Amino acid sequence: MTDPVTHPLARFSAATVSDALDRLGRPGSLLGIAPLFDGARLCGRAFTVRYVTAGSPPGTVGDYLDDVAPGQVVVLDNGGRTDCTVWGDILTAMAAHRGVGGTVIDGVCRDVRRALDGATRSTAAAASCAPARTAWRSRTSAAP
């Protein structure tokens, strides 16, 4: 089923949508977040997740994927952190299997090269602050 709200927006560039939102008094840009590959395009309803510093024992990282509807774009708020990652090739493969429309991360992601290979490219982290080179497990968990 085509989403009546997001489907018409898909034909416009991010810059055009951002300019229109600015004119309406609703800023819509994501400062510091850029595509991880050329030609990345996302359009879909947002499924938002906020991460917090992990407690003891650490919480979950990706259990929310069971609640994401096909076509939704996962928007991860990791506070722009560069010392821990919340997305990689395993979550990309799971997201692709579930039909997730893409991912935007305020923070870093890992396994970018593997995530962009093959069939999972369409649901890989299409936008992020930067790719991460190291896994920092158990430093964050999804906020309740």
Does the pTM surpass 0.85? The reply is no
Greatest distance between any 2 Cα atoms in the chain = 46
- What pLDDT, in 10s, does the model give residues 63-72? 899 999 998 9
Strand spans (E) along 1-143: 34-35, 46-53, 73-85, 102-109, 125-128, 130-131, 140-142
Which CATH superfamily hosts domain 31-142? Ribonuclease E inhibitor RraA/RraA-like (3.50.30.40)
In one letter, which amino acid is 30? L
Give the position of tokens 């609703």. 26
30-34, 86-90, 130-134: range with lowest mean pLDDT: 130-134
- What pLDDT, in 10s, does the model give residues 42-93? 888 999 999 887 777 777 778 899 999 998 999 999 888 888 888 888 888 8
